Amino acid sequence: MIQEDLEHKEMLKLIQIKVKSSAQAQWIQRILPLKQKLAFIYYDNGFYELYNIKQQVITQKGQISQGIRFFLEIYTNVLIFHDPTDSQMKLLDLNMN
């Protein structure tokens, strides 16, 4: 009985959101959940947006290289990715504008 209650609390909460973006893109390439209830949205033309899930607003926008296949959050709001244009690993610090 106690173990069943713990399993229910550990389940992920599924929510539905609508994001109105001003990015000139046709497709979303990646959505990466981040710490502090944020989501990193990467579009097909290299634009990205940082979305605050709790407040349901876009907090940051920017542009990086196109064709990036993966992102990894190594620190809070700091991502690492492989840039296909020069074949190097790069950091993207979302704490800075």
CA-CA distance, 36 to 92, in Å (whole number)?
Answer: 17
The pLDDT, as a whole number, for residue 30 is 93
**Torsion (CA) 90, 95, 77, 36 in degrees, nearest 10:** -170
The string of pLDDT tens digits covering residues 80-91 is 999 999 999 999
Asked if residue 51 lies in contact with residue 64, where contact means CB atoms within 8 angstroms, the answer is no
From edge to edge, which strands make up the β-sheet containing 57-63? 28-34, 38-43, 47-52, 57-63
Q: Is the pLDDT of residue 46 over 80?
A: yes
Q: Is the pLDDT of residue 94 over 80?
A: yes
Asked if residue 79 lies in contact with residue 96, where contact means CB atoms within 8 angstroms, the answer is no
Domains and CATH numbers, the chain: 17-93 (2.40.10.360)
